């Protein structure tokens, strides 16, 4: 039986309502509701659930699992964040800003998989076959195993997958394909959700590993659909400044591995190259002379400590409300650090603009960079330089105390091997690290600033 239903859906967050709403009660967006009509026939009824074919509950003890079979992509940084390779039959969402390199990475992955004798169907919904071919030439991919299919209709794609029986399917991109089951335009929340459900069903029932590419909007959502994130097995974000050559892959969800790993690439004229020694590269970007407002922090991304420079610029403001601008660091965290600096250290920033920049186009999400940010701001405001061979590690609490951070030994080892000679770190009992780096333990933010002033006066 075919049933047609109509509903109003928020295009920002996927909230559904029976009638039009001016403001979304879920995400507070204004004017984001669009009417969407869904026609459900027997064929696609609960497409996502068809692979769950047990109609009775089973005893946990009786369930036999097959070990997840992983296919390595032989792109070392991609394998690192996937947990060793693409899990067979999984659905992976690769999201990022337009132009960041999603199609390049997937085509390079296809090249590697094709040389391992895997059959691949590359659905190009945005670019013509010629465009994909010229990218493949640029990446020097020559193989008989990759089929390019410029198509936007989900039902046609489904038919071709059934005929071709590939090992891998690439959808580039999910925002450009539409299903006949839904009457809204391609890219709407209902279309994206329906197409993704159909792809999930195909991936699970036929054991085809599927990579779905999704664009991210200005405000950081995978255009409209956060809704996709809970359908797919793995969500990977491509980040970085597209005007610079470094790119970061970050896994936000992974049903088959760990989520804290990052992969680092450089975009070159013939594709993305893995960066295995990121610290050397990030430190090379650093200015050679010490300048007030620069602090080196050691963040711990996954299993790898990363050494990055935080730059701060503090200057008197021409505006009635001072400006706070960050690039690569969380704004609300910066505001919290500035409040602590004002209240606990007595640094008056109410008439000062504050700009923060993390070099290398990286986003730092870890709180251990707090102390580096605070010291960069404080030393810039006071015109002091931090010793260029010192790293700064620590999380700041609201009372101005410095909280311990995890994996401190690993961070110190990395700092030492990159040529640093001293480290300002939280006071944290006995350290297992006994390498040759001078440790300056600090309990409070004011102690850290005093320690840096002493160094600055050298």
Applying CB under 6 A, the residues found at the interface with ligand TYD are: 96, 98-104, 135, 138-139, 267, 269-271
The item of ligand TYD, Mg ion, none sharing an interface with residue 254, based on CB under 5 to 8 Å by kind, is none
100 interface partner picked from Mg ion, ligand TYD, none, CB below 5 to 8 A per type: ligand TYD
Shortest reach from residue 151's CB to Mg ion, in Å: 15
Binding piece for Mg ion, criterion CB under 5 A, among 96-104, 228-236, 281-289, 391-399: 96-104
C-beta closer to ligand TYD: residue 240 or 426: 240
Question: Distance between CA atoms of 441 and 171, rounded to whole angstroms?
Answer: 51
User: Which of ligand TYD, Mg ion, none has residue 411 at its interface (CB below 5 to 8 Å by kind)?
Assistant: none
- When CB distances are held under 5 to 8 angstroms depending on the partner's kind, the choice from ligand TYD, Mg ion, none that residue 419 binds is none
Interface region with Mg ion, contact rule CB under 5 A, candidates 100-108, 192-200, 275-283, 373-381: 100-108
Shortest distance, position 249 Cβ to Mg ion, whole Å: 15
- Residues 187-246 interacting with Mg ion (rule: CB under 5 A): none
Return the number of the residue (271 or 394) whose C-beta is nearest ligand TYD.
271
- Residue 103 found at the interface with Mg ion (CB under 5 A): yes
Smallest distance, ligand TYD to C-beta of residue 149, A: 17
Cβ nearer to ligand TYD, comparing 101 with 292: 101
Cβ at position 291, least distance to ligand TYD in Å: 31
Q: Which stretch binds Mg ion (CB under 5 A): 22-30, 103-111, 323-331, 339-347?
A: 103-111
For residue 456, count other CB atoms closer than 10 A to its CB. Answer: 16
CB-wise, 105 or 374, nearer to Mg ion?
A: 105
Gap between the Cα atoms of 349 and 344, Å rounded: 13
CA distance 126 to 131: 10
- Which ranges of 126-255 would DSSP assign to H, the alpha helix? 129-138, 154-164, 189-206
In angstroms, rounded to a whole number, what is the distance separating the alpha carbons of residues 187 and 39?
17
Of 98 and 435, nearer to Mg ion (C-beta) is: 98
Smallest separation, CB 82 to Mg ion (Å): 20
Tell me the site size for Mg ion, rule CB under 5 A. 1
CB of 100 to ligand TYD, least distance (A): 4
Stretch touching Mg ion by CB under 5 A, among 73-81, 98-106, 154-162, 366-374: 98-106
What is the DSSP code string of 182-214? Answer: B-SPTTSHHHHHHHHHHHHHHHHHHT-EEEEEE
Nearest distance, CB of residue 394 and ligand TYD, angstroms: 36
Contact 113, 167 (CB under 8 A): yes
Q: Which position's Cβ is nearest Mg ion?
A: 103
Which CB atom, from 104 or from 151, has the smaller least distance to ligand TYD? 104
Q: Which is nearer to Mg ion, 104 or 294 (CB)?
A: 104
Alpha helices (H) in 167-308, listed in sequence order: 189-206, 278-284
Minimum distance, C-beta of residue 415 to ligand TYD, in the bound complex (Å): 32
Please identify, among the stretches 37-45, 99-107, 109-117, 257-265, the one whose residues bind Mg ion according to the rule CB under 5 A: 99-107
Work out whether 124 is an interface residue with Mg ion (CB under 5 A): no
What DSSP line would sit under 359-404, residue for residue? GGGPPB--GGGHHHHHHHHHHHHHT----TTEEE--EEPTTSBEEP
Specify the residue, 269 or 320, whose C-beta has the smaller distance to ligand TYD: 269
Least CB distance from residue 380 to Mg ion, whole Å? 40
Decide whether 41 or 99 has the Cβ nearer to ligand TYD.
99
Residue 360's CB is within 10 A of a number of other CB atoms, namely: 23
> Smallest distance from the beta carbon of 270 to ligand TYD, in angstroms?
5
Minimum distance of Mg ion from residue 214's CB (angstroms): 11
Neighbour tally for 457: CB within 10 Å? 8
CA distance 271 to 265: 10
> Given the complex with ligand TYD, which of 271 and 305 has the nearer CB atom?
271
- In sequence order, what are the residues at sequence separation of 6 or more whose Cβ sits closer than 8 angstroms to the Cβ of residue 368? 297, 298, 299, 300, 393, 394, 395, 405, 411
Nearest to 38 by CA among 49, 47, 30: 47
Q: Decide if 254 contacts 87 (C-beta within 8 A).
A: no
Toward Mg ion, which CB reaches closer, 103 or 379? 103
Q: Which residues of 165-201 are buried (b: 16+ CB within 10 A; e: fewer)?
A: ebbbbbbbbbbbbbbebbbbebbbbbbbbbbbbbbbb
Residues sharing a CB contact under 8 Å with residue 113, sequence separation 6 or more, in sequence order: 71, 73, 120, 145, 167, 168
Burial 134-154 (b: 16+ CB within 10 A, else e): ebbeebebeeebbebbbbeeb
Q: Are 10 and 32 in contact (CB under 8 A)?
A: yes
By the rule CB under 5 A, 106 interacts with Mg ion? no
Residues that bind Mg ion (CB under 5 A): 103
């Amino acid at each position: 039986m075919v049933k047609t239903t109509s509903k109003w859906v928020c295009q920002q967050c996927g909230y559904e309502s029976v009638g039009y709403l001016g403001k979304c009660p879920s995400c507070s967006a204004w004017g984001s509701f669009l009417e969407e009509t869904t026609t459900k026939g027997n064929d696609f009824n609960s497409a996502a659930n068809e692979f769950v074919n047990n109609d009775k509950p089973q005893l946990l003890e009786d369930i036999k699992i097959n070990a997840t079979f992983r296919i390595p992509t032989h792109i070392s940084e991609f394998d690192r964040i996937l947990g060793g390779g693409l899990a067979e039959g999984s659905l992976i969402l690769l999201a990022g800003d337009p132009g960041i390199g999603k199609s390049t990475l997937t085509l390079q992955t296809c090249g590697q998989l094709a040389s391992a004798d895997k059959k691949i169907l590359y659905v190009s919904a945005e670019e013509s076959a010629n465009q994909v071919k010229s990218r493949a030439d640029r990446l020097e991919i020559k193989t008989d195993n990759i089929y390019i299919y410029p198509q936007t209709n989900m039902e046609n794609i489904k038919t071709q997958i059934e005929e071709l029986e590939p090992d891998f399917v690439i959808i580039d991109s999910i925002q450009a394909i539409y299903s006949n089951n839904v009457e809204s335009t391609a890219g709407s929340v209902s279309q994206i959700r329906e197409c993704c459900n159909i792809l999930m069903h195909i991936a699970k029932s036929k054991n085809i590993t599927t990579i779905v590419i999704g664009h991210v909007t200005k405000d950081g959502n995978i255009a409209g659909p956060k809704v996709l994130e809970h359908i797919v097995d793995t969500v990977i974000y491509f980040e970085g400044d597209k005007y610079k050559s470094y790119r970061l892959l970050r896994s936000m969800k992974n049903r088959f591995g760990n989520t804290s790993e990052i992969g680092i690439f450089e975009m070159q004229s013939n594709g993305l190259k893995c960066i295995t020694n990121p610290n050397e590269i990030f430190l090379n970007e650093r200015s050679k002379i010490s300048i007030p407002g620069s602090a080196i922090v050691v963040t711990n991304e996954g299993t790898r400590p990363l050494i990055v420079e935080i730059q701060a610029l503090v200057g008197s403001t021409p505006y009635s409300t001072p400006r706070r601008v960050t690039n690569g660091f969380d704004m609300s965290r910066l505001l919290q650090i500035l409040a602590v600096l004002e209240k606990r250290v007595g640094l008056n920033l109410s008439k000062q603009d504050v700009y923060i920049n993390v070099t290398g186009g990286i986003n730092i999400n870890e709180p251990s960079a707090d102390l580096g940010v605070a010291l960069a701001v404080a030393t810039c405001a006071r015109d002091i330089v931090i010793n260029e061979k010192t790293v700064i590690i620590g999380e700041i609490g609201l009372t101005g105390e410095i909280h311990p951070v995890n994996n401190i030994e690993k961070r110190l080892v990395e700092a030492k091997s990159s040529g640093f000679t001293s480290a300002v770190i939280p006071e944290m009992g006995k350290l297992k690290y006994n390498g040759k780096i001078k440790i300056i333990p600090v309990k409070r933010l004011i102690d850290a600033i005093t320690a840096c002033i002493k160094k600055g006066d050298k």
